[in-house]
Amino acid sequence: MRDLTRLVASKIERPLSMPIAKASVPTANAAKYMQQLCKHWSHKLEVDLSEQRGVVRFPSAVATFDARADVLQVTIEGEESEAVERLQGVVASHLDRFAFREAPLRFDWQGG
52-89: per-residue pLDDT in tens? 999 999 999 999 999 999 999 999 999 999 999 999 99
Query: What pLDDT score was predicted for residue 17?
Result: 79
Nearest to residue 84, comparing CAs of 106, 65, 59, 104?
59
Radius of gyration of the CA atoms of the chain, in A: 17
CA distance 45 to 40: 9
Task: Please provide the size of the chain in residues.
Answer: 112
Mean pLDDT computed over every residue of the chain: 88
Domain boundaries, the chain: 17-111
Whether domain 17-111 has CATH 3.10.110.10: no
37 band by pLDDT with thresholds 50, 70 and 90: very high
pTM over 0.75: yes
Reduce the DSSP state of residue 29 to 3 states and report it. coil
